[in-house]
Structure 1
Amino acid sequence: TGLKVKNAVKRRGAKLITIEALEPAIGSTSNIVNLAQLHLGVKPTAYAVAVLGLLKAVFDQQMVDPALQSNARSYVNDMTARLEALSWDAIQAQTGLASDMFTQAVQMFAKVEKVVILVGPGVLRSVGGFGTTMNLLDLLLVTGKLT
């Protein structure tokens, strides 16, 4: 998987966003986080909240795909209501990241054709990992990257 991500970033022009506890390393360490155009450094217990922060930023910045808004109005309304109930203070308390980091991420995300989002290891095996994965798919869907 690492080689495929590196190939997508280096040769195919994809932008990489990482949500990971690791910080970019300087030196000879091969660390995929070093390739990221944007790195959200959070603890493993905050991965799910970081993904919700990305979703909230998409809705707050009114970056929801217009086709999705017209074709799936009830879905968009439900997502809007759920994300409005989530405060930026709560997101920052759990992730340590301010709302502008998430806004910066989704603005970059929306501009590019190809994007890779990597979330730290263990997400699928963690409690709530399925939900986090579904929220990543929602992120792709609401931004028009998954049609």
Structure 2
Amino acid sequence: MRETGLSATLPATSAEMSRLLTAVRRGRVLTVAGAFREPRSLLVREIARRIASNFYDGVAVVAMNPQHGGYGVRELTAELGSVPGMPAPARGTANTASWLAERDMLLVLDGAEQLGPDALAWLRNLLTVAPGLRILAAGRSPLAFEQERIHQL
């Protein structure tokens, strides 16, 4: 049986949801991978909603547009700077990394298959300098990060 959300059925049972919430709390990177965008997106946004209070600086959801054609570091940091409800990080990729290094937050990357190799390398480096940062990604395939946990839909 799948869990029923406000407007749709979540693609996870209650037991799966519990395991996913624990994986986000205890790990650094969790990727929800699967062929269809809507179920992945629905699941990561529900996880983020349920776990937001666990992070002092909250949750930043970056929704990547599939028509955009790819997100490099500059595009990713620009999207991060325009997340509603989040204080804007300083301009520039080095300044954004420094800003994130001081945060206790969950970064949700919805549409992670849009990330280019430079953005993935920047995120890998970011995990080494930002101890309070957790990443929850939704994409067609895993991010291939060393400490990544994967939930396949």
Query: Shorter-chain TM-score: what band?
Result: 0.3 to 0.5
Q: TM-score, normalised by structure 1?
A: 0.36
Q: TM-score, normalised by structure 2?
A: 0.35
